[in-house]
Amino acid sequence: MTTSIATEKFHSQTSFSGSVYFYLCHEQAYEHLMINIADGLKVLRIPFYANFNYWKTGLDSESYLFNYDSSVNHWDCSVVVLSNHWFENHQKIPEGLFDQKRKYITVYLDDTDGHSLLLYDLNPTLMRNFDLVLRTGCNNFVQHPNNLHPWFFGISNRILKSTQQVSKFEQRTPNLLINYRVKHDTLLLFGIDASVQIPGIQRTDYIKDDKWIEYTVNFPLRKIADERFYPVIKNILKLDFSRENFDKPPEDNYDYFLWQQTGQRHHPEYYQRLTKSLACAAFGGCIVPDNDSQNFHAEWWDSWRFWESLAAGCVTFHIDFDKYGVNLPVMPENWKHYIGIDLDNIQATVDRLVEEPEILERISIAGRKWAIENYSPVPTALRFLEIVSDKQNTKTRGEITEYFVTEGLPFSLTEINLIIFPDWSQPEETLGLELQEVIKSLVTHPDRGKMALLIDNSNISAEDADLILSSVAMNLLMESELEVDEGPEIVLVGELSQVQWSTLIPQLQGRIKLEHENEEVKAKLKAENIPVIELDRLPEKIYSFQTKE
């Protein structure tokens, strides 16, 4: 999705009309997550404010991305945002932030290293007070509280500009960059109760102060790659372990300015090597044994390097996101946008690269396009506003759900989730009448506001399916007694990974049986495991969902 298309989509599909207030902890902190969102909000002309001026926009400029306005405080805005850096720097909760009469949404941006639910383990009351927690490094195999959403580091304007001039593929040096600043074999955590057992890590004897405790990581991915992946890939790609000295200030004044603002994370030579190299290793974080200790899932896997590598057009190597449960709002496709390693069968990756050397150029191009279209500032801001708008609408309706949901799906679920598998190859008139009958049955149900109708469209484009559904909606609106706007939620499922289907199916209350169904998709997904609902028995079935203990 290009920036212009994304902007058009935002204006046509979201009802957000408000402002955002960011609480920044201090001038020297590098608030990457906030910056990426604010870069996009600025393009979209969504007003936002902060508790002080922050992030200069130019070397000699007195303009800032975040601006303090003495006439505006968080009570005046629609959304209030804090990050984990706020509490790590010993800041107190802003006065009245969680007031029960507040009309704003509270958002917590969390890029803390460690497992997905770390902060819920350490301070569950605080985390549940926030309306939304946007957490980097989430995992599909971990059950999350319903206020937690998977988030990401993404690609800020600074990274976009630094990787703007990329070399053509044939001109790139055939190297695999392996130039990490840290090993990720130890972890410093803030505000930890020493008695708390944390998956995948063990406490060391080192304590930085009374708030920071060091842990040893049991299965760090960078060490695993060192020992098992690089020895077998070196015959295909030359390993380049050289790295820049980030402690040494850049000579160029502008780069020095950015080096200061980013806490010494910006270095022009690093970005130049990225844009000229064929591939880059982006392993980070660790894997953790599942409960049965036979399988592993990824925790704390996100990093700047993953996004920088993609933005620079490198072929990006990481673990297989689907296998290890990596959770992103929009998932990349293995061997299309990146190369994901199965740690149980590393040789398979090497064999495929030998058999299909031409695939590297396709991944280089497609990966960069995917990353920029989905995770540069405008798409990031759009996703932020969509999540916030959904939460605002939920609070307005008073439909706060107390149960847990598993994140990782590109849509939200409700109390009653039903699915259909239409045969889109049927004539449009036949298909439209069948869809109209199903939707009308739900629209006329008294509890339609609690329902979601999921429509499989895995073998038809979203645009074509939207056209057919728009025609169905128009026909229903012409029946004056129907109030379509009150529900149910109608969701096109789109292309889901096997992991996402495995997440979704247990949360479905039923499959509405159609006369014409996509039998191929049903067989592939084993849809027979979903309880079947005959359309004429829909009302009594829905009643049974609500009364079931």
Please give the pLDDT value at position 223: 94
Kind plus residue range of the DSSP H or E element containing 174: strand 173-177
Contact (CB, 8 A) for 334 and 320: yes
* Radius of gyration (C-alpha) of the chain in whole angstroms: 25
pLDDT score, position 527:
79
Tokens of 1: 């999705």
Between 186 and 40, name the one with better pLDDT. 40
- Residue 76 pLDDT > 90, yes or no? yes
Cβ 423 vs Cβ 513: under 8 Å: no
Q: Report, as an integer, the average pLDDT of 187-194.
A: 68
| Res 238: pLDDT | 95
> Per the domain annotation, does 534 fall within a domain?
yes
Looking at residue 547, its pLDDT comes to 44
Given a contact cutoff of 8 angstroms between Cβ atoms, the answer to whether 146 and 139 are in contact is no
Residue 34 — very low, low, confident or very high, per pLDDT cuts 50/70/90?
A: very high
Residues 107 and 167 reside in one and the same domain: no
Looking at the structure, tell me whether residues 111 and 147 fall in a common domain: yes
Shared-domain flag, residues 191 and 173 = no
Instruction: Express each pLDDT in 205-259 by its tens digit.
Output: 666 665 677 778 889 999 999 999 999 999 999 999 988 887 888 989 988 989 9
Q: What is the per-residue pLDDT across 45-54, written as a single tens digit (0 to 9) for each?
A: 899 999 999 9
**pLDDT given at position 484:** 53
Identify the pLDDT of residue 482: 57
Pure H helices in 132-252: 157-162, 221-224, 230-233
Please give the average per-residue pLDDT across 526-532, as a whole number: 80
The predicted structure's pLDDT at residue 323: 95
Please provide the DSSP assignment of 491-508 as one string.
Answer: EE--S--HHHHHHHGGG-
Q: Which domain holds residue 92?
A: 3-154+378-392
Mean pLDDT of 128-153: 91
The encoded tokens of residue 228 equal: 């098992």
CA atoms of 269 and 259, how far apart (whole Å): 12
Per-residue pLDDT, 486: 65
Mean pLDDT, rounded, for 402-431: 76
Helices and strands (H, E) in the chain, number of each type: 19, 23
What is the phi/psi pair of residue 470, to 5°? -65, -40
Tokens found for residue 206: 């080192």
pLDDT on residue 55 = 93
Using an 8 Å Cβ cutoff, are 238 and 174 in contact?
yes
| C-alpha dist (Å) from residue 79 to 17, 85, 145, 329, 414 | 11, 18, 20, 20, 23
How many CB atoms are located within 10 Å of the residue 405 CB? 18
Are residue 251 and residue 363 in the same domain, yes or no? yes
- Residue 224 resides in a domain: no
Q: Are 347 and 236 in contact (CB under 8 A)?
A: no
Backbone φ and ψ for 453, nearest 5 degrees, come out as -105, 115
Mean pLDDT of 512-518: 90
Residue 549 predicted with pLDDT over 50 = no
What residue has token string 């031409």? 358
* Residue 75 or residue 543, greater confidence: 75
- Give yes or no for residue 157 having a pLDDT over 50: yes
Based on the domain organization, do 102 and 205 belong to the same domain?
Answer: no
State yes or no: pLDDT of 299 exceeds 80.
Answer: yes
Q: Tell me: do 83 and 58 sit in the same domain.
A: yes
Omega before residue 488 within 30° of 0, cis: yes
**Same domain flag for 274 and 150:** no
Long-range contacts of 315-318 (CB under 8 A, 24+ apart): 315/278, 315/279, 315/280, 315/339, 315/360, 315/363, 315/364, 315/367, 316/279, 316/280, 316/282, 316/367, 317/176, 317/229, 317/279, 317/280, 317/281, 317/282, 317/283, 317/341, 318/282, 318/283, 318/284
CB neighbourhood size of 498 (10 A):
11
% pLDDT > 90, the chain = 46
Tell me, yes or no, whether 272 and 354 share the same domain. yes
Residue 407 confidence (pLDDT) above 70? no
Residues 6+ apart with CB under 8 A from 333: none
Q: Give the model's pLDDT for residue 1.
A: 34
Tell me if 299 is assigned to some domain: yes
Please state, rounded to an integer, the average pLDDT across all residues of the chain: 84
Same domain as 536, residue 523: yes
When pLDDT is cut at 50, 70 and 90, the band that residue 309 belongs to is very high
CATH number at residue 441: 3.40.50
How many whole angstroms separate alpha carbon 18 and alpha carbon 79? 8
Asked if residue 7 has pLDDT above 50, the reply is no
pLDDT of residue 462: 82
Which of 392, 426, 450 terminates a domain? The answer is 392
CB crowding 460-477: b at 16 or more within 10 Å, else e:
beeeebeebbebbbebbe
Domain membership of residue 398 (yes or no) is no
Q: Looking at the structure, tell me whether residues 194 and 312 fall in a common domain.
A: no
Helix (H) or strand (E) holding 42: helix 32-44
pTM of the model: 0.70
What are the angstrom distances between the C-alpha of 444 and each of 432, 481, 486? 18, 9, 10
| Domain-located, residue 149 | yes
> Looking at residue 110, what is its pLDDT?
94
Tell me what pLDDT residue 244 has: 81
- Stretch 407-431: mean pLDDT, rounded? 84
How many domains does one find in the chain? 4
Q: Which of 340-344, 467-471, 493-497 has the highest mean pLDDT?
A: 340-344
- Do 490 and 347 fall within a single domain? no
In a domain, 397, yes or no: no
Residue 372 lies in a domain: no
Examine residue 399 and state whether it is found in any structural domain, yes or no. Answer: no
Do residue 259 and residue 273 come from a single domain?
yes
* pLDDT at residue 420 in the model: 93
Distances (CA, A) of 446 to 113, 451, 482, 542: 45, 10, 12, 10
Identify which has the larger pLDDT, 512 or 189.
512
Amino acid (one-letter) located at 446: P
Q: Output DSSP code: residue 93.
A: P
Taking residues 271-283, report their average pLDDT: 95
